Structure 1
Amino acid sequence: MKKPIVLLLSAIMAATLITGCGKKDTPKEDTTKNETGNEQTENTKNDGGKKTLTVTTWDNDTTPQFSATIKAFEDAHPDVKVEVIDTSADEYNNKLTVMLAAESKDPDVIWVKDMGSLLSMASKKQLLELDEFIAKDNVDLSVYSGAAEQLQVEGKSYSLPYRSDWYVLYYNKDLFDKAGVEYPSNDMTWAEYEELARKVTFGEGSDKVYGTHNHTWQALVTNWAVQDGKNTVVAKDYSYLKPYYEQAVRMQKDGIIQDYATLKTANIHYSSVFKNQQVAMMPMGTWFIGTMMQSQTSGETDFNWGFATIPHPEGVAAGSTVGALTPIAIGANTDVPDLAWEFVKFAASAENSKTLAENGILSGIQSEESFDIIASAEFFPSECKDALKYTNYVFDRPLDENIDEVRTVLDEEHDLIMIGEYTIDEGIKELQERVAEIKGY
């Protein structure tokens, strides 16, 4: 049973859901056979007769992770106009579910936010199989170092690796200097991280600087519990989560991190918290490197920042991290499959990996060259290049058929623990029982 405050939180969050979908302007249609033998309708727009391609993104205005690729593709294909269907990161999967259930022609191309939703969409036949396209164009999957095979569902390719991300620890150099505290190192345990966060918490009221920041994702607690590779978030026994929740609750109680309920009800984005210099540190994915570089390029921010490798549990090697792939796929109902494939192939190419690196983004193709490009880019904190490298990498969630259901339970129990409606033990007990019911344990 949900407590009244949880219902209130849910109602407020539900009110922010954006359910509108983008549509193509299709004044002219020419139905032909595409190269794989399927019928397609070639759409054109009135403005110069350009072909139209719709793509889904999240938080497109705050990061170049998608816009850089879209611009590069349009520059290389002047006869194509890419239309973006953008949603906030927190609501992306919900909106995509609604869109795909409608079985409309849009979207043509889908950036997949996590591998769990990839499995769900593939099982529902909402994605186009890519194997014929891959074979036709002799795409070498080995450049993805095994990642392309990890994305396969029952031996079939429904996507290509677009981006690879893992967690690092961002910090505000100016705030550390103001507090007279040394910057984070590339070898800190989570206990040392908490101690450091307490040292750089200072000020009062609206001028308060919090030592660090936990965004509202449950991953900002559960990730550290699976960092050693011994557990996953689909489990029979969730007792391994307890020390990490104890730390999060303790730091919240002591005012080292911001209040969870406030962040949740106000729908506060983590980027604004860091950009507004309200926090000295913040664990977040490598995608945020590009966001900060873009922010400084535009003049939105001008403070000094850097990042270190993510802290690690006691007994786990420094440089161990947690991450995920961002796949790119084609909607099964697209009316321009060949054009959509050209975009997907381009987005996941070695050529585009250099464009992404110039914008501080790590693609699905990793190389020393891409690290060098990123480190030499304007506004990249060049002394932090070594922090990009990791010694061990585990996925934040497994490719499990029930992962979306399990994640819903994880999110709900995370809410209850962090707002104090459940004790940690009560939350873990509920989590365990609910997941057991889903998995049939």
Structure 2
Amino acid sequence: MKKTFVFSSIFLVSILLLATLSVAAQTTIRVVLWDYEMSPEYHELINTFEEKNPDIDVEVVDVTSQDYGDKLTVMLSGGEDLDVFAVKDMPGYSNFISMNHLEPLNDYIERDNLDTSIYSGLMEEIKIDGEYYAIPFRTDNWILFYNKDIFDAAGVEYPTNDMTWPEFREKAAAVTSGSGSDKTYGAFIQPWMSLATNLGVLKEEGATTLANGEDYDFLKPGYELYLKMQYEDESVMPYGEATTSSAHYRTQFESGKVGMVYIGTWNIGALISDKKAGRHDVNWGIAKSPHWADMEEPDTAISIVTPMAINSNSDKKEEAWKFIKFAGSEEGAKIFAKHGVLPAVKTKDVLDVYTSADGFPENSAAALEAKKLLLEFPPAPNAGVISSIIQEEHELIMLDEVSIDEGIDNIERRIDMELNW
């Protein structure tokens, strides 16, 4: 009896020792995300990662979306113990690089032979001075949404995946009808600067961006198109009315009184969920972003990229690298796609997962594909200043208070004064 007790005690101590050693061998990384509790895709991503890497435990620091940029900046500047964080926008990304908060990734990428081509050019878009500082895990492309019933009633063919911007204007005019409160607009232009400047960046096919700080003549075609639609065709709600009434693309399109909306892919999930909730009954479809006729690669889209980065002060960089690499992998992409979040990796298998969602428009997967993705406003040291100036002049141009040429001259003059004062 005594021997049995001694053996059992030794066995129990051994088990406890092994368990202690196992726990001790586990590394905890702290990952900063926004709205984690409301984001099931993050929960599944982290659970899957931990299953694949039992030696790594992920502790999430959850920050509300509206406070994310400011709070993350404070945490990083204060030296808080953080290892990985999602970067919400490119101005923030530029700022973090200038403050030396981001770990350079070139050595990790080269060592692991990471194929950066799976991100459709986005890795090159966020490269700074030859250095990578983050891995894209989510993107939103600008695409075209259209109301099939409005097109059917007007006897006009639906938008296609190979449509030019002048054709977009023609279709908008063709499906516009009625007047006053009964008017159906051919398109709705959300009063955001990007809705106009995107068209100029597209025309340049990556040769320039809003961050260039010098020559902004490339913005002319987009403004010319929209002003003609607004004042000649009257096929879109006037900019002033859209601004003062706080008109929103989502409610405008879901009202069934708008033929087309050029907006981001995030609207797909909104339309699906709103229809299930009984908020609208629009028979809708999607198509690729229109292009300019003289583009060498018309299959191009403007993208908004969300990357993950490693804190340069982290003492767990290898574990952090494993996490961001997984988040940006095809396997990670399928997890995001399953939850209706468009990932940065858009292979056929990933898009099959994304487009299989109940309510996704039939035979529309091709609308999400693009051979080339561009950033309207890539990382730049003076992004905040440049953006503010363009926004102010954009409003004056769209309100027809200054001519397009005057507005562009003002943009160039003011940016030159600010940057070379």
TM-score by length of 2: 0.76
- The equivalent of 1:261 in structure 2 is 240
- The equivalent of 1:408 in structure 2 is 388
Give yes or no for the alignment of 1:272 onto 2:251: yes
Deviation at 1:152, TM superposition (A): 4.0
Structure 2 CA distance for aligned equivalents of residues 219 and 99 of structure 1: 25
Q: Structure 1 residues 106, 172: CA separation in 2 closer, same or farther (over 3 Å shift)? A: farther
The worse-fitting range, judged by mean Cα deviation, of 269-278 and 304-313 is 269-278
Structure 2 CA distance for aligned equivalents of residues 107 and 427 of structure 1: 44
Structure 1 CA distance for aligned equivalents of residues 134 and 92 of structure 2: 12
Q: 2:209 aligns with which of 213, 221, 232?
A: 232
- The equivalent of 1:432 in structure 2 is 412
- The equivalent of 2:73 in structure 1 is 100
Deviation at 1:212, TM superposition (A): 0.9
Deviation at 1:306, TM superposition (A): 1.0
Deviation at 1:134, TM superposition (A): 5.0
Letter in 2 for 1:195: E
Contact 1:167 1:285 in 2 (8 A): yes
Letter in 2 for 1:388: L
Deviation at 1:157, TM superposition (A): 4.2
Deviation at 1:195, TM superposition (A): 1.2
Q: 2:149 aligns with which of 164, 167, 174?
A: 174
- The equivalent of 1:248 in structure 2 is 226
Which has more radius of gyration?
2
Structure 2 CA distance for aligned equivalents of residues 141 and 344 of structure 1: 14
Aligned length: 384
Structure 2 CA distance for aligned equivalents of residues 33 and 439 of structure 1: 51
DSSP 3-state at the match of 1:280: strand
Structure 2 residues without counterparts, runs of 5 or longer: 1-23, 52-56
Contact 2:125 2:378 in 1 (8 A): no
Deviation at 1:396, TM superposition (A): 1.8
Structure 2 CA distance for aligned equivalents of residues 54 and 100 of structure 1: 11
Q: CA RMSD in A?
A: 3.8
Q: Structure 1 residues 352, 430: CA separation in 2 closer, same or farther (over 3 Å shift)? A: same
The worse-fitting range, judged by mean Cα deviation, of 398-407 and 260-269 is 260-269
Give yes or no for the alignment of 1:351 onto 2:305: no
- 1:159-196 deviation line (CA, Å, top 9, x unaligned): 21112333221111122223332211222221111111
Q: Structure 1 residues 273, 338: CA separation in 2 closer, same or farther (over 3 Å shift)? A: farther
Structure 2 CA distance for aligned equivalents of residues 152 and 439 of structure 1: 22
Structure 1 CA distance for aligned equivalents of residues 228 and 81 of structure 2: 46
- The equivalent of 1:7 in structure 2 is none
- The equivalent of 1:6 in structure 2 is none
Q: 2:139 aligns with which of 160, 164, 169?
A: 164
Contact 1:174 1:304 in 2 (8 A): yes
- The equivalent of 1:56 in structure 2 is 34
Superposed counterparts of 1:42-191, under 5 Å:
54-56=32-34, 67-73=39-45, 75-76=47-48, 82=60, 84-87=62-65, 96-97=69-70, 100-101=73-74, 103=77, 105=80, 110-125=85-100, 127-129=101-103, 131=105, 134=108, 140-142=114-116, 144-145=118-119, 147-148=122-123, 150-154=125-129, 156-191=131-166
Give % identity. Answer: 33
Letter in 1 for 2:259: A
- 1:100-126 deviation line (CA, Å, top 9, x unaligned): 24745499764334334312221123x
- The equivalent of 1:39 in structure 2 is none
The worse-fitting range, judged by mean Cα deviation, of 278-287 and 72-81 is 72-81
Q: Structure 1 residues 410, 377: CA separation in 2 closer, same or farther (over 3 Å shift)? A: same
Structure 1 CA distance for aligned equivalents of residues 239 and 64 of structure 2: 26
Q: Structure 1 residues 67, 98: CA separation in 2 closer, same or farther (over 3 Å shift)? A: closer
- 1:126-165 deviation line (CA, Å, top 9, x unaligned): x342649958x95835474564465344455432111233
TM-score by length of 1: 0.73
The worse-fitting range, judged by mean Cα deviation, of 326-335 and 159-168 is 326-335
Letter in 2 for 1:263: A
Q: Structure 1 residues 235, 106: CA separation in 2 closer, same or farther (over 3 Å shift)? A: same
The worse-fitting range, judged by mean Cα deviation, of 250-259 and 207-216 is 250-259
DSSP 3-state at the match of 1:363: coil
Q: 1:315 aligns with which of 274, 288, 294?
A: 294
Letter in 2 for 1:310: S
Deviation at 1:438, TM superposition (A): 4.0
Give yes or no for the alignment of 1:204 onto 2:179: yes
Q: 2:363 aligns with which of 368, 379, 383?
A: 383
